[in-house]
Structure 1
């Protein structure tokens, strides 16, 4: 008896994201990419804090906030100002580089 093997179609991660989330530039894909970047930022803060052998409470004291705010920041950076992020990385003695990308869509100035 001959068994049939099902051929699996190989897809890249970008192809899977395009299929499941929409292509780059669609609202769903943009939200996904933004949320992912914010999660990575929180993980980076936690990682650098631990590398510097600081507790959440100690980092909070360095920038003038409570431990609970550092905990929230490490879990969810969506509602944080750039100023706060710069304060945190400044207290951690870590350099931060931001890049700004311009969309090619039309805009008008009124």
Structure 2
């Protein structure tokens, strides 16, 4: 009987999506983070015992917009994101990582 070869999730992503630093891998990781963001919004909203309609009223949007945010079916601006988390009484932190030392300006 042939022994099955095992792979880590990182190896699978490297093989089928691309290695870390490639455009395809970066896009994948960013999309994954946005999906997690929608899940976080839903989880915190429910913990605060708010309906989508109530959260929408707090930030000045329709219930459908909150649904779209939670289901990742719309783009979200930084302003809207900050309003959502402020309404949910949640602290937001951003981490910026510089990927290289050089900056060039096209002329």
Contact 1:56/1:70 (<8 A) preserved: yes
Query: Where do 4+ consecutive residues of structure 1 move more than 2 Å?
Result: none
How far the C-alpha of 1:24 sits from its partner, in A, is 0.7
Cα deviations by residue, 1:66-109 (Å, 9 ceiling, x for unpaired)? 00110111111761111111100000001111111111163313
Calculate the aligned-residue CA RMSD, in Å. 1.5
For 1:39 and 1:74, the matched residues in 2 are separated by 8
Q: 5+ residue gaps in structure 1?
A: none
- Match of residue 37 from structure 2: 41
Larger Rg: 1
Q: 5+ residue gaps in structure 2?
A: none
2:49 counterpart SS class: coil
For 1:108 and 1:78, the matched residues in 2 are separated by 33
- Match of residue 12 from structure 1: 8
For normalisation by structure 2, the TM-score amounts to 0.92
- Superposed counterparts of 1:1-110, under 5 Å: 5-76=1-72, 79-104=75-100, 106-109=102-105
Figure out how many residues of one structure are paired with residues of the other and give that number. Answer: 106
